[in-house]
Amino acid sequence: MYSGLLIILIPLIVGYLIPIRKPNLLHAINKLLSWMVYVILFIMGISLAFLDNLSSNLVMIFKYASVFFLCILVVNLMALWLLERRKPWKTQHRQEALPSRLHMALDSLRLCGVVVAGFLLGLTQWHWLTYASQASEAALIFLLVLVGAQLGNSSMTLRQIVLNRRGMLVASVVGITSLGGGLIAALLLGLPLKTGLAMASGYGWYSLSGIVLSDAFGPVIGSAAFFNDLARELCAIMLIPTLVRSSRSSALGLCGATSMDFTLPVLQRSGGLDMVPPAVVHGFVLSLLAPILMAIFSA
C-alpha cells in the first residue's frame, strides 16, 4: 500500500540531503530539471495512446480537468479575497511594463505539444513503447532527486520562511482551500475523495502531478491532473496584472507552486520588489508540500 509513498518520499529526501557547494553544479541541476519535465510529459503522452476506449477516455480527461480547475480556482479566489479584506496588503508600487503575456502563455502551451508528440508516437503501437510505464517510474525517481537537491540547496532558510508572514499566510490559504476545491470536484464527478485530494495537491506543478498520479491512478487521472495544473499557470499569467491592483494576495495565490520560478517575473513587474520575498516563500512551501501530499493521498 505504501510503496508509492516510498517511491516519492525517499528520492526527495535523498536529494534534499545532498550538499551542493558549487554554483555551476546547481545551475546544471536546474537546467537538467527543465529538460526532465519535457521527458516526463513525452512519456505521459505515449502512455495515453495505449488507453482502451481512447476517444471516450479523452473526453473524460478534459471533463475531469475542467471541473477540478474551476472548483479549485473559485474556492481559492473566494478565500484569498476574504484574506485581502481582513488583512490588506498595501503598497505604493506602480505597475511596470510587462513582458508579453501571450509569449509566456505560448511557452506553457508548448508543453501540451510535447504531450501530443508523445501521444502521436504512441499511436504507432510499437512494441518497445509498452515499457513507457517503467520509463516513467525511473524518470519520476530521477526528477524527485533533482527537486530535492534544488530545494535543499536553495537560498531559503527556515528563519526566512517562518518570518515572511504574508508568504506563509497565502500559502496556507491556498494549500487548504485547494484541497477543499478538490473535494467538491470529486463529489461532483463521483470520484473517490482521496483521488480528488491527490489531484488538488499539485498546486500548479503540472509535470510532477501528471506523472505521479498517472503511476497511482492511471493515465486518465494523471493527464487530467496535468491539464488542471497547466490551466492554473496559464490563468495566473493572464490575470496577475489585473488582480494585483485589487487583491495582491489573490494574484500571488493564483500562481501556486510556480510563484518561485515561472510566474515570478510577472509578479515582480506587476506588484513590485516587495512582492518577491512572499512569492518565493509561497512557492517554496507549496513545492515542498505538493509531492508529500500527493504521495499520502495516492498511497
Residue 274, exposed/middle/buried by CB under 10 A (0-12, 13-18, 19+)? middle
Model pLDDT, residue 2:
47
Task: With a cut of 50, list the residues of the chain below it in pLDDT.
Answer: 1-2
At which residue does the C-alpha cell 553544479 appear?
25
Counting the structural domains of the chain, the total is: 1
Joined together, the cell numbers standing for residue 161 give 520562511
Model pLDDT, residue 107:
64
Model pLDDT, residue 78:
95
Ramachandran bin of 191, using left for φ above 0, alpha for ψ from -120 to 50, beta for the remaining angles: beta
pLDDT in tens, 83-125: 988 888 776 555 555 556 566 666 667 777 888 898 889 888 8
Model pLDDT, residue 91:
64
Report pTM.
0.79
Residue 35, exposed/middle/buried by CB under 10 A (0-12, 13-18, 19+)? exposed
Q: Which domain holds residue 144?
A: 3-89+98-297
- From the list 5, 40, 38, the residue with the least C-alpha distance to 139 is 40
Model pLDDT, residue 128:
83
Model pLDDT, residue 284:
86
228: which residues sit within 8 A by CB, 6+ positions away?
Answer: 64, 65, 68, 69, 72, 199, 202, 209
